[in-house]
Structure 1
Amino acid sequence: METDSGTSSTDGKALFPLYTITFIGTLGFGIILTFLVFLVTEYGGNALVYGILASTYPAFQLIGAPILGRWSDLYGRKKILLLSQAGTLLAWVIFLVALFFPVIPLIEVRSDLLGIFTVTLPLLALFFARALDGITGGNVSVANAYLADLTSEEERNKNYGRMSVASNLGYVFGPALAGLLGATVYGELLPVSVALVISIIGTLIVLFLLPDSKPCEIEEYSESTGIRKVLGQEQKECYKIEAGSKITFGEVFKLEYIPFMLIVYFLIFLGFNIYYTAFPVFAVVALEWSPAELGVYFSVISALMAFVQGPVLAKLAKRYRESILVVVGGFILGLQFILIISGNIFLLYLAAVFFAFGNGIMWPSILSILSKFAGKKYQGSVQGFAMSASSLASIIGLLAGGLLYTQLGVISFLIAAAIIYLVVFLSFRLVKIEKERLAETAVAEI
């Protein structure tokens, strides 16, 4: 039998590279998010082109994430993380090269419905770069499966919280770094170059610092003994992997509770992306915020969320079940969508606090519950399909958010709130499921 060091003790040194990779990934995304709209405009695009370009990444991630997740179950997490990082690195190379392309018009569009825009050579290269990054963008789902491999169920919520902290810190520093570097005489060239260097560092971390994680193989299941559990040496769940084995979309939906969790996943991302598209328009048009004011607002949310998902979540996770945290967090999160409608600056920043606290305790709990339902055998595959569900919701939300705000104004935030409260309603089923599983565990230990 292949031994495994993935116990609860691995949440220190072994998981630190994983947290670093997550931070680097969101740091790069935070950098590009700050100036991408200006590049699109400079190269001939308009708001519609920007929306389509923003949805290109999740559209291709929808295709690639389940494939990479399934491969990680078969060939090991590290190899697939390395493949994903290499794809991101190559995408940044293409992105950087595109800045040197001449602005050659390829297609001109003049439409009352679509507006006026021109597809140019560098703009086409940007689309290709985002598509490549998306198709190899299964790093989040693989990283989630990797964390599940190395941590016990008791510590999983806390460690997912730490990973979310690393992610949010990337969103805090990324826009600030982009603003600082973009203000130089080199314009967008310097922040893109820095993002490329950051991607190289991430690839090297995966290659040299991240230990491999692959399901072990045995002929029969081993039964845990009471003394092993007490001493922290409980046998990892192992199983035999047949060559070329894979799980299909239909088989995922036959796994207990997984279809329900994928629906929850989809709805959460749908609500978020409607907000993420509509709020910047609301801030610029209705509130007349500058890019700096908008950047400060999002940085405040990310910084608060990093605090919540660190020490706050660690304490709450010890006292309350994950399903309870999902319900309470979702309820608080929905309130923030309602508070921002007034446009009052005090209520806006109160909404930021609600956003950070609600999402900060809800999302890591959702990730932990999904990983437990997936089990060891199909961890990577299920995480990949979950990423596909989020990608599909991101595509719909990004395209619908701007349209909803254009047609309905601030009512679009109420729609986002309604979606989140639907998640809260559905999450009461998680409370029931968790009670049943705890009861079954108690009976089995007697």
Structure 2
Amino acid sequence: MESKNNSRPILVLFLTVFIDLLGFGIILPILPLYAEQFGAKPNEATLLVAIYSLMQFLFAPVWGRFSDRYGRRPVLLLTLFGSVIAYTGLGFANSLWMLFLARSLAGIMAGNISTAQAYIADITTPTNRARGMGIIGAAFGLGFILGPAIGGLLIGSDPDNANFHLPSLFSGGLSLFALLCALTLLPESLNSETKAKLQANRHRRRRLNLLQLSQRPQFCVLVGIYFFVTFAVAAMDSTLALWSKQQLNWGPQQTSYLFAFMGIVSTIVQGGLIGFLKKNFGEIKLLTLGILGLGLGLLLIGFSQSLSLLLVATTLVAWGISVSQPLLNSLISQMTAPEEQGQILGIASSCSALARIVGPTWAGISFMKFGSDSPFLSGFLVMIVALVLSLRVTKSASESNKERVA
């Protein structure tokens, strides 16, 4: 299945996801302040952020099933078009309910990430799939590095006359450009064999339910790890600025530089190193090392009182994120039939979105009730659970190998 002809679709997909995430990165830091312009209270501003992940959680499996049935390309084009409408609506919003409507639509369309992952699974082999998923991860990293910086430039330096409309409209323009790239350069990834199988099973196929998924223990374990990793990362993301202000007396600029540093580390690992590391360690062992690094990094953040220790901690965190997430996507896709790729990856993406709802909610409560270090220390405890689960995957893989040899 893999050939040199796949390099262009992967490049176009990287560009499409990067532009999409760049627009997301531009908007995310300014959303709470944007909501305040319409009289939103802090809890309402936080809900404006959470509703995006909620809609993504609900609709990612829907887009996954549609992509299995109708193809990856139509779903990607439709969701990119929807993103253009969502960002444009955000730019022209003149009330709080319009902000919520625009962000809800953006969250619905954000379910296309699982479709992009299914596209990668279609055009790669199990041998190089982790590298393909890593390229998507690199697009995430670059988007989160450049997005907030561009948003800060567009909104202006005067907080009393901030231009909240321009960043939103600029993001809409980026999504339109991504749509044009996909429309003109991205072919359909589902091959004729898979399409024929889909058509043959069309009347017999049913939506996967919880009972069916419970009969796939390896899948459940991997999705559980995915949830815990995303939970810990989302909790850290939502409270790191508050923690750095309280513990290090930092302002938003220093915290932004720290996020950019983590993004750079993640991009280097996902874009260039993950293929080499996978070849030398194997996917499952490398996943365990990534989870271990993420947990230790979160623990060290809670004890960091100097910049040098904090840089070590965030390097470990960035390593853990950039290794574990693409490997989890790769392992999940490898144990899934071709005609179920979109649906299964959509379910995994929904679990990740659910963690991005629950993680910040817990982090805010624990930050206020148990102290500023508690979100990171609780993230470390969650990573211990994820580590135990990853060791279970390692044990199962070892037993399977022994059975094959026997």
TM band (smaller chain): over 0.9
CA RMSD of superposed structures (Å): 2.2
Residue equivalent to 1:203: 179
Selected match of 1:417 from 380, 387, 391:
380
C-alpha separation in 1, matches of 2:196 and 2:42: 57
Residue equivalent to 1:94: 89
Matched ranges for 1:269-418 at <5 A: 269-342=230-303, 343-409=305-371, 410-418=373-381
Deviation (angstroms), 1:323: 0.5
Percent sequence identity is 29
C-alpha contact (below 8 Å) 1:339/1:347 kept by paired residues: yes
Selected match of 2:156 from 180, 183, 191:
183
Residue equivalent to 1:162: 135
- What secondary structure, in the 3-state scheme, does the structure 2 residue paired with 1:257 have? helix
Q: Which amino acid aligns with 1:37?
A: P
Unaligned residue ranges in structure 2 (runs of 5+): none
Deviation (angstroms), 1:322: 0.5
Residue equivalent to 2:78: 83
C-alpha separation in 1, matches of 2:5 and 2:203: 29
Matched ranges for 1:248-267 at <5 A: 248-250=208-210, 251-255=212-216, 257-267=218-228
C-alpha separation in 1, matches of 2:401 and 2:142: 34
C-alpha separation in 1, matches of 2:204 and 2:100: 33
Q: Which amino acid aligns with 1:299?
A: A
Name the CA shift for 1:284/1:373 in 2 (closer, same or farther; >3 Å). Answer: same
Q: Which amino acid aligns with 2:123?
A: L
C-alpha separation in 1, matches of 2:6 and 2:140: 17
C-alpha separation in 2, matches of 1:401 and 1:429: 28
- What secondary structure, in the 3-state scheme, does the structure 2 residue paired with 1:378 have? helix
* Higher-helix-fraction structure: 2
- What secondary structure, in the 3-state scheme, does the structure 1 residue paired with 2:192 have? coil
State the number of aligned residues: 400
* CA deviations over 1:391-410 (Å, ceiling 9, x no partner): 11111112111111111111
Q: TM-score, normalised by structure 2?
A: 0.92
Residue equivalent to 1:33: 28
- What secondary structure, in the 3-state scheme, does the structure 2 residue paired with 1:349 have? helix
C-alpha separation in 2, matches of 1:157 and 1:290: 37
Unaligned residue ranges in structure 1 (runs of 5+): 1-5, 102-121, 222-237
C-alpha contact (below 8 Å) 1:40/1:123 kept by paired residues: yes
Deviation (angstroms), 1:86: 1.7
C-alpha separation in 2, matches of 1:370 and 1:148: 10
* CA deviations over 1:107-156 (Å, ceiling 9, x no partner): xxxxxxxxxxxxxxx22111111111112321111111110000000001
* CA deviations over 1:326-352 (Å, ceiling 9, x no partner): 111111111111111233221111112
Residue equivalent to 2:396: 433
Residue equivalent to 2:55: 60
C-alpha separation in 2, matches of 1:13 and 1:218: 21
Selected match of 1:144 from 100, 117, 121:
117
Q: Which amino acid aligns with 1:202?
A: A
C-alpha separation in 2, matches of 1:440 and 1:14: 38
C-alpha separation in 1, matches of 2:290 and 2:171: 33
Asked if 1:45 corresponds to 2:40, the answer is: yes
Q: Which amino acid aligns with 1:25?
A: D
C-alpha contact (below 8 Å) 2:2/2:123 kept by paired residues: yes
C-alpha contact (below 8 Å) 1:74/1:241 kept by paired residues: no
C-alpha separation in 2, matches of 1:16 and 1:422: 36
Deviation (angstroms), 1:215: 5.2
Q: TM-score, normalised by structure 1?
A: 0.84
C-alpha separation in 2, matches of 1:386 and 1:213: 20
C-alpha separation in 1, matches of 2:142 and 2:295: 23
C-alpha separation in 1, matches of 2:163 and 2:381: 41
- With 433-442 and 75-84 compared, the bigger mean Cα shift is at 433-442
Q: Which amino acid aligns with 2:145?
A: V
- Which structure's CA Rg is the greater one? 1
Name the CA shift for 1:327/1:123 in 2 (closer, same or farther; >3 Å). Answer: same
C-alpha contact (below 8 Å) 2:91/2:164 kept by paired residues: no
Selected match of 1:12 from 7, 10, 30:
7
C-alpha separation in 1, matches of 2:266 and 2:287: 15
C-alpha contact (below 8 Å) 2:26/2:171 kept by paired residues: yes
- What secondary structure, in the 3-state scheme, does the structure 2 residue paired with 1:187 have? coil
* CA deviations over 1:387-442 (Å, ceiling 9, x no partner): 11111111111211111111111122110111112111100122123334555666
Deviation (angstroms), 1:361: 1.9
Deviation (angstroms), 1:301: 0.4
- What secondary structure, in the 3-state scheme, does the structure 1 residue paired with 2:231 have? helix
C-alpha separation in 2, matches of 1:329 and 1:215: 33
C-alpha separation in 2, matches of 1:239 and 1:260: 31
C-alpha contact (below 8 Å) 1:76/1:215 kept by paired residues: no
- With 346-355 and 244-253 compared, the bigger mean Cα shift is at 244-253
